[in-house]
Structure 1
Amino acid sequence: MTSISRTAATPSRSAQSRKTDGYSFAFYKLLFMMPTIIVLACVVAGPLIYSFWLSLHEYVITYGLGDLVWLHNYAVILSEDFASVSWTTMKLTAIVVCLEFLIALSLALLLNQSWLKFRELYLTVLMLPILMTPVAVALMFRLMFNPNLGIINWIISVVGIPQQGWFGDPHLALATVVLVDIWTETSLMLIMLYAGLKSLPQDPVEAARIDGANAFQILRHVTLPMLKPVILVTLMIRMITALKSYDLIYMLTQGGPGKVTETISFYAYRLGFRFLDIGQAAAVSFILLTAVIVLTVVLLRVMREN
């Protein structure tokens, strides 16, 4: 009887030991992560909290920190040019994301074909834009689209088309920015979609081929459904970066002509560094941050459901 009770007691001790070891492992794991957590808190959380505190104050650089105004800066921003700037940002985001996705998906499907030769060479050339900084790309395209010295106007004049003021024409400025953005950012979506295609299992494709499905049917009913998680991640990343677009706008158009190409990020820059109103600039930045967080949460929920 005594031996039975001792045998029965042994598992409970081992279970308790495993539980204690689990707590010890979690403690040491948290302990080793603390330096990273502290650094992130100082580098990310600290400036965010300080920026939010500034957005609740009157803060003009020439006069210094003023009174606590709570949400007055947000009310002023929402009552001024923010609607038109937001519309420009959403329009630019929607256009570039849709066009870049279609181009990147088409190129990825082409590169994934088994009959294609020199695939590595084509992929290397297509990856060149992602290796260049946006400032260098913007300077290059500013020279190419220069109304007097640019090669684009020279080419269209040769074929009999009148020369255009690409970045100075209100009807062409946004379209020109879209073209430059497509050339710059399509490579990122391409490499993500191509990597997703290469990781897909080939058994469903072979089974569909044996059943008599053509190439379009395989793409629609087999490849794209399996690629859906990669597509959602790619669209999420590109939409977030497009919403925060600033560098190309700054280098190409400065938000002009007028405010045709002014995005939310450039609007925050204009308030903070031209009008020197740091409080309102911080308020615009937090409105943009809120929009990005909401969009990210929605897309993550869609990904989780799929």
Structure 2
Amino acid sequence: MKSATTSMNLRAPHLARKGDELSLGFYKFVFMTPTILVMMLVVAAPLLYSFYLSLHEYIVTYGQGPFIGLGNYVLLMGREFAGVSWVTMKLTVSVVVIEFLIAFSLALLLNQSWLRFREFYLVILMLPMLMTPVAVALMFRLMFNPNLGIINWLLSLVGIPAQGWFGDPNLALATVIFVDAWTETSLMLIMLYAGLRSLPQDPVEAARIDGANAWQILRHVTLPTLRPVILVTLLIRMITALKSYDLIYILTQGGPGKTTETISFYAYRLGFRFLDIGQAAAVSFILLIAVVALTLVLLRILRER
């Protein structure tokens, strides 16, 4: 009897802790329930309904048609969708590479101990990020205007003829990339600069004592330790670049022809100009799958590193 009582006494704290954990888990679930319900209403419900529409023939003027399965996705596998996908890929790769090189160079410069007025420069470089993309697009649309824009006026001063920046198929995408780089580099700069400021200085000091120069420190110390920040920065920028829409809408409307039409703008054109909601939903889900796949790949690389 005494042994049984002792055993119960030994088990009592364990049972109490288990009961506390169950109670804590229950309260966590209760407090998270409103958030879960809101997320289901705001995110999950529209997402599922969009997927449902992508499996049906749905023209706004005629209403919802019959279930066609993957018919909308099959219809998209043509030359037009391949063209907008290629434009999206060129735009994404170009802006990510250009913006990363500029942002990383500026972050390294701002991180130098000898630099004075660092905060002032940082505030100036953050200004493009604080402006709305629509305002930036309207500003550059005026600046690149072939007749009244200041860019062509400056070129005329050195004898260069006026250019149709958004009307020339050879210049339109490059001009959009330039505007995008001016707008979005600030975000990458802030993330990379914060990563540089958070790096431990002991490895850098040890490398200097061993006689390493600035390039060797950057290559063998800074870049390896900063790799997680770089991967996260590239991931975020790639996702936003794949979804590019606002600058395209204001600057070029996908033209001239379709030289600057991205997947997001293609979905808008199908849904709001041609009123084909089924195909527009299918395009959106293809873009969603691409973004999720890219995210999983980069997160796997991040875990391995």
1:174 and 1:194 map into 2 onto residues whose CA distance is 29
- 1:131 equivalent in structure 2: 130
For 2:225, the aligned partner's letter is M
**Distance of 2:300 and 2:10 partners within structure 1:** 42
The amino acid across from 1:58 in the alignment is E
Aligned to 1:45: 44
Letter in 1 for 2:224: P
Aligned to 2:67: 68
**1:1-306, aligned counterparts within 5 Å?**
2=2, 6-306=5-305
Paired amino acid for 1:180: V
Query: 1:240 Cα shift?
Result: 0.3
Shift of 1:7: 4.0
Distance 2:301 2:185 in 1: 23
Q: What SS class does the counterpart of residue 15 from structure 1 fall into?
A: helix
Q: How far has the Cα of 1:16 moved from its partner?
A: 1.4
Amino acid at match of 1:135: V
* TM-score, normalised with respect to structure 1: 0.98
**How far 1:122 sits from its partner (Å)?**
0.3
Aligned length: 305
Q: What is the one-letter code of the residue matched to 1:214?
A: N
TM-score by length of 2: 0.98
Residues 11-68 of structure 1: per-residue CA shift (max 9 Å, x gap): 3211111111111101110110000000000000000000000111111111111111
Cα deviation 1:110-137 (Å, max 9, x = unaligned): 0000000110110000000000000000
CA distance in 2, matches of 1:287, 1:11: 58
Q: Structure 1: which 4+ aligned runs deviate by more than 2 Å?
A: 4-11
Distance apart, 1:163 and its partner CA: 1.0
- The 2-side partners of 1:23 and 1:248 are apart by 51
Query: 1:79, CA displacement in angstroms?
Result: 2.3
Distance apart, 1:292 and its partner CA: 0.5
Partner amino acid for 2:72? N
Residue aligned with 2:64, SS: strand
Q: Give the CA RMSD over aligned residues.
A: 1.0
Q: Indicate the percent of aligned positions where both proteins have the same amino acid.
A: 74
Which structure 2 segments of 5+ residues have no match? none
Shift of 1:8: 4.4
Structure 1 residues 210-235: Cα deviation after superposition (integer angstroms, max 9, x where no partner)? 11111110011001111000000000
* In structure 1, distance between residues paired with 2:109 and 2:125: 12
CA distance in 2 between counterparts of 1:12 and 1:91 reads 65
- Output the CA distance in 2 between the equivalents of 1:80 and 1:219: 45
Distance 1:65 1:84 in 2: 28
How far apart in 2 are the matches of 1:229 and 1:10? 49
SS of the aligned residue for 1:127 comes to: helix
Q: 2:161 corresponds to which letter in structure 1?
A: P
Mapped partners of 2:35, 2:123: distance in 1: 35
CA distance in 1, matches of 2:10, 2:195: 46
Counterpart code for 1:47: P
C-alpha deviation, 1:10, in angstroms: 2.5
SS at match of 2:169: coil
Q: What CA deviation, in whole Å up to 9, does each residue of 1:233-291 have, x standing for no partner?
A: 00000000000000000000000000000000000000001101000000000000000
Of 196-205 and 10-19, more deviation after overlay is shown by: 10-19
After superposition, the C-alpha distances for 1:174-214 in whole angstroms (9 at most, x for unaligned) are 00000000000000000000000011111111111111111
Distance 1:81 1:112 in 2: 46
Q: What is the alpha-carbon distance in structure 1 between the residues aligned to residue 79 and residue 154 of structure 2?
A: 42
2:77 alignment partner, SS class: helix
Unaligned runs of 5+ in 1: none
Query: What is the DSSP-based 3-state SS (H/G/I as helix, E as strand, rest coil) of the residue aligned with 2:255?
Result: coil
Per-residue Cα deviation, 1:79-100 (whole angstroms, up to 9, x for no partner) = 2411111011011100100010
Structure 1 counterpart of 2:116, one-letter code: K
